[in-house]
Amino acid sequence: MGKNSKTTAYFSAVIYALIIGLSFLFVKMALSVTDPLTVLAHRFTIAFLILLIASLFGWGRVKLSAKDVLYILPISLFYPTFFFAFQIFGLVYISSSEAGIIQAIIPVFTMILASIFLKETTSSLQKIALSLSVLGVIYIFFMQGISWKSANFIGIVLIMFSALSSACYNVMARKITKKYRLIDITYVMTTIGFISFNILSVTDHLIKNTLDSYFAPFMNTTFVISVLYLGILSSLLTSLLSNYTLSKIAASKMSVFSNLATLITVIAGSVFLHEQIEYYHIIGAAMIILGIIGINFLGHKTTINQN
């Protein structure tokens, strides 16, 4: 890979991290207006419509067979479906800052999975750094005095599952992006999100007999701004950016940029939502980030088996 190509890949990863970092803020804003499933349904409807309009005007036409779609389907379940579903329900129970800190564990999950499935190797020092990151998350859990029945614990577990889903996507996309065009992968991912979340949301409204309020959130300016950001930038653009980056650099290298997203999330939550950041959040986040820096820069270079 050429120097310019590598620079572009890292630049796209930085933009991806900035968008994801702010997305927690907009999710919280949208959740102040309506329920999680409605937010998910509308954000992916917007993303899907943007892709559909672009396709109708001749840009980014999909060139996939039914067999290709089935091959890409598993990655679409992990991202966006599982990733965003666990994330948004987790944010019902905990602050955006806490969620951002917990999701900093994504590189740890990615490194473990990449070593198993992609044969990306790590040194002893990198394994020690991995342990430091894990201890950072455990430290936050312990300091918050979480009980097995507390709502806060439920939120943290859901965000952890969201992080694991992202790691699974990072590893799976590493190979798929070598085989298919970025727009084709993104189209399938967005379509799966559009179909799954709309079915879930409409079903939920039918059960609650509230289907007449399905489009009601669009009467709220805060929701409109939030869902446009989430649909166009946080759902569609991030899919393109992450797929591109993963086609150029190792999964474990890409995942480290989630720590930049964590920093953005914590700052945004504190400034705009006035969320309280405790001293143990800072200590835990520092442990996680130092661990991730160690994973990426200590020991020998990561090697990749592309077979």
pLDDT tens digits, residue range 198-246? 999 999 999 999 999 999 999 999 999 999 999 999 999 998 898 898 8
Is 65 in a helix, a strand, or coil?
coil
- As a whole number of angstroms, the distance between CA 85 and CA 159 comes to 10
Tally of structural domains, the chain:
1
Residue at 28 is within a domain = yes
Does residue 140 form part of some domain?
Answer: no
Within 10 A of 148 (CB to CB), how many other CB atoms are there? 7
The DSSP code for 302 is P
Q: Taking the CB of residue 214, how many other CB atoms lie within 10 A of it? A: 18
Residue 88 has which token pair? Answer: 């948004």
Residue 199 falls within a domain, yes or no? yes
- What's the CA gap between 244 and 11, in Å, rounded? 11
Check residues 247 and 214 and name the one with the higher pLDDT. 214
286 in a structural domain: no
Quote the pTM value: 0.82
pLDDT band at 1 (very low <50, low <70, confident <90, very high): low
- Residue 49: pLDDT band by 50, 70, 90 thresholds? very high
Q: State the residue range of the domain holding 10.
A: 3-117+147-274
CA 164 to CA 169: how far, in whole Å? Answer: 9
Contact 186, 240 (CB under 8 A): yes
Q: Does 124 fall in a domain?
A: no
How many CA atoms are closer than 13 Å to the CA of 71, on its beta-carbon side?
13
Tokens of 21: 């970092």
Task: Please give the pLDDT value at position 288.
Answer: 78
Note whether residue 136 is domain-resident.
Answer: no
Residue 282 included in any domain: no
